[in-house]
């Protein structure tokens, strides 16, 4: 078995679904957060780090155990998971497939170095600020209740050692968190959303979106406060999203019963939904957003257009919010009375007159089903 020192924290088997193939190579477009240049890169050369998962041990057979685990159990399984999720004819999923989907998708949250890099940057900033505010040759900094002595002549070595300390700690903590994360979501419901217009999903170097569950129909629901709240990844009520390619996104929803449902829900989405998902994808990214050249360029343009407070954007958001409320109300009536009931037919006719929902592709599916 090989001893790979260049280690992908986002697998190429995932990145390739956003890339274009050129002979035996795959090329993806990428934009860093600190500039507007859109680069064309091989998927071999993005979301990769040197010895990120290498275990510090003298036993050569064990040094690359974590990298081999991801290569065999996650990265190698992703093409099978992708094929299952993007096949629109599949409407149910057995437990074995469910485990593969959740294991591969959720691995992309804890295995990325974003949180490790933030921890390293925190330590460097703490050291720099402490030394600049003192004239002493040695200062003591406190990090997470640990006191660390910093000598001015040894700063580089101390930072290097602390980074390695953090990396080794990350190796084992992230695997424990990953296992806990997977176990907590095994009973959750799953849905796949497919784009029906010319919009495109982007992805990133930290592609898993976690949103706290919320019911926008509740009185006083505040969208701004909702998007500002802190995320606890282990909250069982969270909703989790992972873009699968430029046209498809996986959603993992809170469980609704004692036993997991084998139903794989499929929904259709359009530009407004994509705008919001892509905004979150950029928000969660560390350094790079990724996708097709057109998809990234349109995302940048869309953010510039729709982040402006004006009448058109306010109306768009209000229409979307109204559509969500009306669709939920309709589904409540449908569940309570049944598809062929007079109550559902009355509600259907009422909603056909509402511009915010009348043309919605998912509502139209229900209309066709009920009127057939």
* Mean pLDDT per 10-residue segment, the chain (372 residues): 83 96 94 94 96 92 92 92 96 93 94 93 92 90 87 92 94 93 91 95 96 72 70 87 97 80 90 92 95 96 84 82 84 86 89 87 84 80
329-333 long-range CB contacts below 8 Å, 24 or more apart? 329/217, 330/357, 330/363, 330/366
Q: How far apart are CA 175 and CA 186, in angstroms?
A: 17
What are the start-end ranges of the E strands in the chain? 6-8, 20-22, 25-32, 38-42, 48-50, 138-143, 146-151, 189-195, 203-204, 209-211, 239-245, 248-253, 264-269, 288-291
Q: What share of the chain is helix, strand, coil (3-state, %, to 5)?
A: 50, 20, 30
Q: pTM score, two decimals?
A: 0.88
| DSSP at 92 | B
Within-domain flag for 283: no
Within-domain flag for 337: yes
Within-domain flag for 340: yes
Position of tokens 């004692």?
258
| DSSP at 72 | I
- The domain of 364 spans 313-372
Within-domain flag for 372: yes
Q: Cα dihedral angle (205, 103, 183, 238), rounded to 10 degrees?
A: 40
What pLDDT does residue 114 have?
Answer: 93
Within-domain flag for 121: no
Within-domain flag for 251: no
Within-domain flag for 325: yes
Within-domain flag for 235: no
* Domain tally, the chain: 1
- Asked whether 201 and 295 are in contact (CB, 8 A), the reply is yes
């Amino acid at each position: 078995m090989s001893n790979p020192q260049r280690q992908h924290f986002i697998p190429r088997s995932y990145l390739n679904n956003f890339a274009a193939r050129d002979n035996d190579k795959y090329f993806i477009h990428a934009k860093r957060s600190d500039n507007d240049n859109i680069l064309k890169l091989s998927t071999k050369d993005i979301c990769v780090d040197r010895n990120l998962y290498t275990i510090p041990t003298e036993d050569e057979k064990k040094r690359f155990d974590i990298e081999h685990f991801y290569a065999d159990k996650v990265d190698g399984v992703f093409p099978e998971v992708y094929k299952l999720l993007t096949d629109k004819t599949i409407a149910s999923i057995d437990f074995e497939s469910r485990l593969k989907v959740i294991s591969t998708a959720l691995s992309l949250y804890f295995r990325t170095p974003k949180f490790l890099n933030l921890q390293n940057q925190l330590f460097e900033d703490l050291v720099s600020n402490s030394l600049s505010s003192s004239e002493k040759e040695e200062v003591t900094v406190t990090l997470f209740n640990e006191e660390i002595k910093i000598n001015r002549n040894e700063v580089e070595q101390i930072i290097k050692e602390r980074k390695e300390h953090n990396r080794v700690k990350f190796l084992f903590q992230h695997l424990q968190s990953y296992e806990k994360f997977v176990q907590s979501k095994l009973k959750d419901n799953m849905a796949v959303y497919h784009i029906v217009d010319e919009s495109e999903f982007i992805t990133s170097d930290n592609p898993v979106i976690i949103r706290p569950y919320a019911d926008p129909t509740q009185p006083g629901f505040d969208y701004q406060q909702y998007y500002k709240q802190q995320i606890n990844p282990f909250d069982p009520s969270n909703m989790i999203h992972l873009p699968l390619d430029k046209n498809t996104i996986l959603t993992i929803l809170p469980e609704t019963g004692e036993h997991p449902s084998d139903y794989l829900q499929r929904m259709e989405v359009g530009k407004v939904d994509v705008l919001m998902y892509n905004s979150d994808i950029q928000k969660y990214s560390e350094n790079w957003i990724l996708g097709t050249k057109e998809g990234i360029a349109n995302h940048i343009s869309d953010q510039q257009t729709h982040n402006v407070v004006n009448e058109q954007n306010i109306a768009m958001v209000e229409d979307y919010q109204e559509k969500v409320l009306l669709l939920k109300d309709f589904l409540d009536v449908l569940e309570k009375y049944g598809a062929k009931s007079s109550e559902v037919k009355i509600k259907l006719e009422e909603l056909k007159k509402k511009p915010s929902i009348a043309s919605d592709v998912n509502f139209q599916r229900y209309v066709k089903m009920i009127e057939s």
